[in-house]
Amino acid sequence: MDEDVERIKGLLAPPLQDAGFHLETVKAVAAGPRRTLTVVVDLDESSTDPMSMEKIAESTKIVGDALDEVEVFRDKPYQLEVTSPGATRKLETPRHFRRVIGRRLEITTKKDTFKLDLAEVGESSITGTDPQRKESKTVDLGEIRKAQVELKFR
């Protein structure tokens, strides 16, 4: 099944990228008669906009159209789920951090836990403002144990 997943990733990535999306992951699960193909799609890293329901619908159409052309699960019925990484996903790569520039993050490092208003992302570090101290702070990505966007409820 792993080679099928790799084949599907190769099939889906180009049309999604052409439409301004990024293919995060593809997961295929077959349990008895039930089969599910889960495709996680995000916006391209140049966008800091959240993934809207309209964008999910657009990416679902692209995925569905691409999959209509190939055999999945040996042509047995399956459920297709197209989703986004979600607002509470762990931020782990420079691409993840670029998507949330301008947002407040909750960060845990090997030494400390703090909040950071993210301003810049490099290949090995992030920079922002500590909202309590009003000071600029640079954090090496290798030091981060956990980072997530702080959610604001209206």
Per-residue pLDDT of the chain (154 residues; tens, 9 = 90+): 567 889 999 999 999 999 999 999 999 998 888 899 999 999 998 888 889 999 999 999 999 999 998 888 887 889 999 999 988 889 999 999 999 999 999 999 999 999 999 999 999 999 999 999 999 999 999 999 999 999 877 6
Enter the pTM of the model: 0.82
Q: Tell me the helix, strand and coil percentages in the chain, rounded to 5.
A: 30, 40, 35
Closest to 136 (Cα-Cα) out of 119, 114, 112, 121: 119
The 8 Å CB, 24+ separation contacts for 47-52 are 47/20, 47/99, 48/98, 48/99, 48/100, 48/101, 48/102, 48/103, 50/87, 51/84, 51/85
Q: What is the pLDDT of residue 111?
A: 92
